Amino acid sequence: MTTINMTVNGKAVSGDVPDQTLLSEFLRENLRLTGTHVGCDTSQCGACVVHINGKPVKSCSTLAASLDGADVKTIEGVSNGELHPMQQAFNDNHGLQCGFCTPGMIMTSIDMVERYKAAGKDLTSDAIRAELEGNICRCTGYHNIVKSIEDAAAKM
Amino acid sequence: MSSGIGVPVKRKEDKRFTTGKGKYTDDIRKDNQAYAAFVRSPHAHAKVKGIDASAALAMDGVIEVLDGHQLTGDGIGNIICGWAVNSKDGSPMNMGAWSALATEKVRYVGDAVAVVIAETQGLARIAAEAVEVDYEALPVIAHVMNAMTDGAVQIHENAPGNQIFDWELGDEAATDAGLAGAAHVTSIDITNNRLSPNPMEPRSAVATYDDAEEHYTLYTTSQNPHVARLVLSAFYNVAAENKLRVIAPDVGGGFGAKIYIYPEEITCLWASMKTNRSVKWTSDRAEAFITDAHGRDHVTTAKMGFDENNKIVGFKVDTVANLGAYMSLFSSSVPTYLYAPLLSGQYDIQNIHCNVRTYYTNTVPVDAYRGAGRPEATYVVERMMETAARELGMDPAELRRINFVQSFPHQTPILMAYDAGDFPKILGMAQSAADVAGFAARKAEAASRGKLRGMGYSTFIEACGLAPSKAAGSLGAGVGLWESAEVRVNPVGSIEILTGSHSHGQGHETTFAQIVADRFDIPIESVNIVHGDTDKVQFGMGTYGSRSAPVGMSAVVKAMDKVEAKVKKIAAHTLEASEDDIVIEGGEVKVAGTDKAMAWHEVGLAAYIAHNLPDGMEPGLKETAFFDPVNFSFPSGAFICEVEVDPDTGETEIIKFTAADDFGTIINPLIVDGQVHGGVTQGIGQAMLEQVIYDDDGQLLTGSYMDYTMPRAADVPSYDVSHMEDQPSPNNPLGVKGCGEAGAIGSPPAVINAITDAIGNNDLAMPATPQAVWRAIQAAKPVAAE
C-alpha cells in the first residue's frame, strides 16, 4: 500500500492505495469521480484523459502512486458554475451522442486549443483531426467534434 | 415554435455528459457490493473434463466460485434465439444448447465455464486465473467455409454438418428463367467482413438480490431493458417478471451489441442470490472483443441479368452466413428477413431469389450490428450495380436510374411493400452536391500529380421501424415489435413522457420532448422523458432497427391524441363552449375566435382537482398508448464517395463523401445529421479499416484497439449531408422513417465502388487497407512480356 496526497480539482485529497492502483481507479473508486471513463485496456481510446500538472494524460495508464503531490484536473473540475467554452461548444455543435468518450474528448480538446494558442499556431481542422489520434468516438463520426473544437477555439 | 418538430434544438441531456455527471452502469456502486470475474475458455473448442476451484476458494477475499453445473442445477435456462427460421424443407432451425456457464463443452475462445465472486475486482480476476479447468481440446472450425466440409467436427450434436438452416426467399424457377433469357449477366463473389460493434462503453451489470422480498434488481448496459426482463424471466428462469427490475441507465452506445441478454447478466443475477451480495461485472475491452456479439460475416455469390435495354430481368443470390458458436437472440433474423427482402434495392426487379445457409463455427456468436442484414444486402446490390455498369459500359448512375422503382406503393417479389420515395430526386440531389459534373477535371488534375481518383455510388433502401407485430410473428419472431408510451400531464402542466424506447446516444430526451412541445405548444423545458426502467415504464421493446421515431414516437403521438381529446373536453366544459371550437396554442387552451381561454396548466390542475369535470369523466390527465406499425418504413438515400489513391502505397483518402437521404419528416436536423455522420463513419470503418480476424485455431487476432482498427478522426472526412422531406411515410402519424442505420447501410459499397473505380480493378475485398489496395493495383497491371 502507498499513501498518496494530491490535489484533485483544486481540493487536497489523500488515500492509501495498493501500489498497482491506476489513477483512473483512484479517481473512480476512491474519490467517486466517475466522469473519467475507461473504454479500453491499451491506452488507445482516450475516454480516461485527465490533466496532470496541466498536461493531458491517460489516467488508465498512470499509477496513482506515482502522482504524490500532483495537481490533477478531471472533467468534473472543468466548469466553474458556467460551462467551459469547450463544454458549451460540444452542446452547441452536437459534438456528443452517447457521451461516454466525451469527458476524454473535452480534456484532450481543452489542452489542444490552449497549446496551439500558446504556440501561436493555427488550429486547422486537419490539425484537430491529427491531434485527436488518441481519442476514439464510435457515435459521432468526429464531424461535429471537429466543429465543436473549432467553435470553442474561437471563444477560448 | 422554437423547439418543435424540425427545429435543430440543442440536446437537453448534454449537460450531464459534458460535465462528467452521466450515470452509466459502471458508475453505480451498491452497498455490500462484490465483483464477478469469469473463467473463460482459452480453447476455441474443447471438452470440459473438470474444474478445480480449490486454490481460488482458498484466497482471502474470494467469496464463491460457481460453475455451470450449479447454474443449470438451479434451473437457470439455456440462452435462446428468439426468432424461429425454418429451412426451405420445412424443418426447424437447429438451435444448439447454450448455457450461460458451459458445462460439458466450450465452443469459442471466451466461452465462460465458471465465475469467481470476490471482494474486489482485482482479486476476482486474480482468483479466476487460479481456477484450474481440465480441457480436452477438439478440432476447431474457425472459418465458415470450413464448417460445411465433409468430416468437419460437429460443434452442436443437433446440427448435422454444422448447418443451422438452409432458407430461401423468392421464386427460383422464375429467376433462373429471367437469367437464362438475359442479354447480359454479371456475376460477383463478395465477402462481407466480420466486425465488432465496439460501443465505447464496455458492457456492465450490477445485480442485487433482496432476500426479504425475493426480488432482483439489475442495472445493465441494455438497449431494451424490458426485453431483457422478459427473456430473463420467461426463458432463463431467473425470476418472475414482478420479482425482477431491470434498469438501463445512461448507456454508452449500443449499435446492436447491447440488444442481447448475455451470459454475464444472467450469471450476475443468479450469483447475487447465491452469495446474497450485490454482484458487479464490468467488461474490459479485451473481454468485449471475445464476448460482445460480432456482426456481418457473409460469403455471397450473386448473378444479375439485364435485357438488351439494360433493365434487370433476374437477380439470384446465394449466401453463407456465419452465426458463430451459438445462436444469439436475433441471430437467425439478420441473414434472412432483415437481409434478403432488401435485395430489390431501389430497383424494379420482378425475379429475385435468395438462398441463405447458416452455420456454426468456433467463434463469438454473430448477431445484429448497426443495419443488421440491410448493410449486407445493400453491399451485394450496390456492388452488383456498379460492376454491371462497368461491364455494360454505362454510367453507373444511369444504369441505376433506368431501373429505379418509379411509383409507390411498390410491391417487390420478396415481401416488401415500399410505401413512399423519390429515388431519382435523391440521386439528383447527391449528384449536384458531389459535383459529379466536375469529376472528370478533378480526376485529370489528380492524375497530373500521379494520383488515382475514383467515384462510387450507392443508392440504397432500408426497411426500418421494426416492425408490424403480425408480420414479424408470421415470419417467426418470438415477440411483437410495437412500442408503448404514457403521457403524464402533471397538475402544474409539466409533462412526463414514459417510453419503451431507450436512448443510448440518440438524443431521445430532446427529440421526444420536441414532438410534445410541438403538439401542446409549450416550452420544451416543461417536458421530461422517462425511459430505461422496468419499474417506471410499463413495457417497451427498446431501441434498434431505427425504430424509436417511427414506432416509439408514434406511440407518444397516439397517447397525446387521447390527452388532447380530454383536455378539450375539460376546457369546453369549463369555458362553456363546444369541444370542436377548442384550440391549443401559445400555452393556452382557448375557444377559437374569442378571448375565452384557460392557461395550459389550469387544465392540468382542473383535471386533478376534479371539482368541476364533465359528468362521468375520470379525474387525472394521463394516457397510455401502444403503437403497432402497419408496415415497415423505408428510408432511402444516395451516397457518393470520391477517393484519391496513391498507387505507390495503396493509401486511400476520402476526398468527399456526399449523403442525400430520405428519412421522411425530420424532428431534429442536428441529431439526424449526427446519426448520418456516425453511421457513415462506421461504414467507412467496415470498408477500409475494420476486420475481426481469427486464426485457424480459433484464436482472435484482433482483440484490442492495437489490432482492430477503429476509425479515428484523421481516417474520415467531414461529410456533406442533405435530406429530402417531401415523401413522408404514410404509415405513421409523424411521417418519419428512421435514420439511425442509413449511414452504416449505404456507405460501404460507395467507398469500395469509388476505390475500384480509381484503381481499375473490381476485385477488392473489404477492408480496403493500403496493402489490399496496393495488391489490387499490382494485380491489375498488365503482365510484362518475358
Å between B538 CA and nearest CA of chain A: 24
Same domain? For B650 and B760 the reply is yes
- In this complex, the residue of B200, B679, B680 whose CB is nearest that of residue A101 is B200
State which residues of chain A have pLDDT below 70: none
**pLDDT more than 70, % of chain B:** 99
Same domain, A64 and A89: no
Tell me whether residues A41 and B284 touch, CB distance under 8 A. Answer: yes
Of the partner residues B13, B201, B681, the one whose CB lies closest to the CB of residue A39: B201
Please report whether residue B320 resides in a domain.
no
Task: Compare CB distances from B285 to A39, A78, A79 and report the shortest one's residue.
Answer: A39
pLDDT recorded at residue B1:
57
- Report how many domains make up chain B: 3
pLDDT at residue number A94: 98
Is residue B467 situated within a structural domain? Answer: no
Which of A40, A49, A138, A145 to mutate to probe the B interface, most B CBs <10 Å? A138
Q: Are residues A9 and A59 in the same domain?
A: yes
Task: Decide if B447 is inside a domain.
Answer: yes
Question: Same structural domain for residues B658 and B644?
Answer: yes
Lowest mean pLDDT among B239-253, B463-477, B717-731: B463-477
Residues of A in contact with B11 (CB under 8 A): 91, 94, 96
**Same domain, residue pair B545 and B560:** yes
Question: Please, are residues B308 and B183 in contact by the beta-carbon 8 Å criterion?
Answer: yes
Residues of chain B positioned with their CB less than 8 A from the CB of A98: 199-201, 250-253, 504-505
Is A63's Cβ below 8 Å from some Cβ in B?
A: no
- Strands annotated E in B23-154: 33-40, 46-52, 62-67, 105-106, 112-118, 132-137
Q: Across-strand partners of B496? A: B488, B528
Let me know: does B611 contact B617? Beta carbons within 8 Å.
no
Task: Note the pLDDT of residue B731.
Answer: 94
Choosing from B627, B654, B676, the residue where a domain stops is: B627
- Residue B386, domain member (yes or no): yes
Would you say residue B565 lies in a domain? yes
Q: Is there a single domain that holds both residue B494 and residue B621?
A: yes
What grid cell was written down for B616?
362521468
Read off the pLDDT band of B784 (50, 70, 90): low
Nearest to B250 by CA among A37, A32, A99: A99
Domain check: are B611 and B665 in the same one? no
Mutate which: A139, A140, A147, A148, vs B, most B CBs within 10 A: A139
**Candidates A86, A94, A108, partner chain B, best to mutate (most B CBs within 10 A):** A94
Residue B196 C-alpha cell reads as 465488432
Co-location of A9 and A72 in the same domain: yes
User: In 10 A of CB B275, how many CB atoms?
Assistant: 17
pLDDT (tens digit, 9 = 90+) per residue, B7-60?
999 999 999 999 999 999 999 999 999 999 999 999 999 999 999 999 999 999
What residues of chain B lie within 8 A of the CB of A1, using their CB?
none
Cell numbers found for residue B620: 387525472
Which of A96, A101, A136 comes nearest B705 by C-beta? A136
CB contact under 8 A, A102 and B19: no
Assign B611 to helix, strand or coil: coil
Which chain B residues touch A35 with a CB distance below 8 Å?
19-22
d(CA B688, CA B547): 28
Name the strands in the sheet holding B588-591, side by side, starting at the edge strand that comes first in the sequence. B582-585, B588-591, B597-599
Residues of B in contact with A18 (CB under 8 A): 122
Cβ of A138 and B678 within 8 Å? yes
The edge-to-edge listing of strands for the beta sheet with B204-210 is B62-67, B112-118, B33-40, B278-282, B204-210, B215-220, B244-247
- Report the SS3 class of residue B220: strand
Helix (H) or strand (E) holding B22: none
Measure CB to CB from residue B678 to each of A47, A125, A139 and give the nearest one: A139
**A contacts of B505 (beta carbons < 8 Å):** 97-99, 139
Question: Domain of A141: which CATH number?
Answer: 1.10.150.120
CATH classification of the domain holding B487: 3.30.365.10
The alpha-carbon gap from B706 to the nearest alpha carbon of chain A, in Å, equals 7
Identify the residue among B10, B14, B18 best suited for mutation to test binding to A, counting A beta carbons within 10 A and taking the highest.
Answer: B18
Measured between beta carbons, which residues in chain A are less than 8 angstroms from residue B252? 37, 39, 98-101
Same domain? B87 vs B225: yes
Are B719 and A141 in contact (CB < 8 Å)?
yes
**Residues B410 and B267 grouped into a single domain:** no
Q: Which of A35, A94, A139 sits opposite B11 (nearest CB)?
A: A94
Q: Which chain A residues touch B674 with a CB distance below 8 Å?
A: 94, 97, 139-141, 143-144
Q: Using the 3D structure, point to which of A45, A77, A109 is the last residue of a domain.
A: A77
b/e burial code for range A24-36 (CB count within 10 A of at least 16 → b): bbbbbbbbebbbb
Do B502 and B222 meet the contact criterion of CB atoms below 8 Å apart? Answer: yes
Number of C-beta neighbours around residue B40 at 10 A: 20
Asked which of B581, B603, B627 is the last residue of a domain, the reply is B627
Of A74, A91, A143, the CB nearest to B718: A143
The beta-carbon neighbor of A144 closest among B507, B674, B714 is: B674
Residue B483 has pLDDT above 80, yes or no: yes
Asked whether residue A23 falls in the same domain as residue A67, the answer is yes
What CATH number does the domain containing B205 carry? Answer: 3.90.1170.50
Q: Does A139 touch chain B (CB under 8 A)?
A: yes
Chain A and chain B share a number of CB contacts under 8 A equal to 184
Contact check, Cβ <8 Å, B18/A90: yes
| Cα dihedral A33, A35, A40, A44 sign | negative
Average pLDDT over all residues of chain B = 97
Whether residue A60 sits in one domain with residue A13: yes
**How many other CB atoms sit within 10 Å of the CB of residue B158?**
9
Alpha-helical runs (H) found in chain A: 23-25, 85-92, 102-119, 125-131, 143-155
Task: Report the residue of chain B nearest A45, measured CA to CA.
Answer: B705
- State which of A46, A77, A108 marks the end of a domain: A77
Q: Are residues A62 and A24 in the same domain?
A: yes
| pLDDT at B785 > cutoff 60 | no
Asked if residue B756 belongs to a domain, the reply is yes
pLDDT at residue B719 in the model: 98
Residue with cell 477560448: A156
Interface test with B, best of A60, A76, A100, A145 (most B CBs within 10 A): A100
pLDDT at B466: 87
Mean pLDDT of B186-207: 98
| Interchain proximity B713–A129, CB inside 8 Å | yes
What's B736's DSSP letter?
Answer: B
CB-closest option in B506, B712, B719 to A136: B712
Cross-chain residue pair A100–B671, CB shorter than 8 Å: no
Please check whether residues A92 and A148 belong to one and the same domain: yes
**CA dist., res. B95 & res. B736, Å (int):** 36
A94 lies in the same domain as A64: no
In a domain, B174, yes or no: no
Domain that holds residue B205: 15-138+201-252+258-291
- Residues of A within 8 A of B17 (CB-CB) are 96, 99, 102
Q: How far is B773 from chain A (nearest CA, A)?
A: 23
- The three-class DSSP label of residue B431 is helix
| Nearest chain B Cα distance for residue A6, angstroms | 20
The number of domains in chain A is: 2
In the sheet with B452-461, reading across from the earlier edge strand, the strands are B452-461, B636-645, B652-662, B719-723
Residue of A nearest to B15 (CA): A91
The answer to whether the CB atoms of B14 and A45 lie below 8 A apart is no
Domain boundary among B596, B627, B658: B627
Same domain, B496 and B409: no
User: Is there a contact between A79 and B19 if contact means CB atoms under 8 Å apart?
Assistant: yes
Beta pairing partners, B189: B301
The 10s digit of each residue's pLDDT in A118-139 is 999 999 999 999 999 999 999 9
Residues 78-137 of A with CB under 8 A from B: 78-79, 83, 87, 90-92, 94, 96-103, 106, 125-126, 128-130, 132-133, 135-137
Mean pLDDT within B748-772: 98
B240 shares a domain with B97: yes
Q: Which of A58, A77, A96 is the last residue of a domain?
A: A77
Chain B hits for A92, CB-CB cut-off 8 Å, are 10
Residues B79 and B209 in one domain: yes
Residue B768 has pLDDT above 80, yes or no: yes
User: What is the domain-level CATH number for residue A53?
Assistant: 3.10.20.30
Quick one: pLDDT at residue B4?
94
The pLDDT score that the predictor gives to residue B2 is 80
Q: What range does the domain containing A130 cover? A: 85-155
Give the model confidence (pLDDT) of B321-353 as tens digits: 999 999 999 999 999 999 999 999 999 999 999
Instruction: Please judge whether A91 and B10 are an interchain contact, meaning their C-beta atoms are less than 8 angstroms apart.
Output: yes
pLDDT, one tens digit per residue, over B361-409 is: 999 999 999 999 999 999 999 999 999 999 999 999 999 999 999 999 9
Residues B92, B214: one domain?
yes
Domain check: are B90 and B213 in the same one? yes
Residue B380 falls inside a structural domain: yes
Q: Do A83 and B18 touch (CB under 8 A)?
A: yes
List the single residue in A with minimal CA-CA distance to B16: A99
* B507–A139 C-beta distance less than 8 A: no
Q: Out of A91, A99, A142, whose CB is closest to B252?
A: A99
| Cβ-defined contact of B199 to A40 (cutoff 8 Å) | no
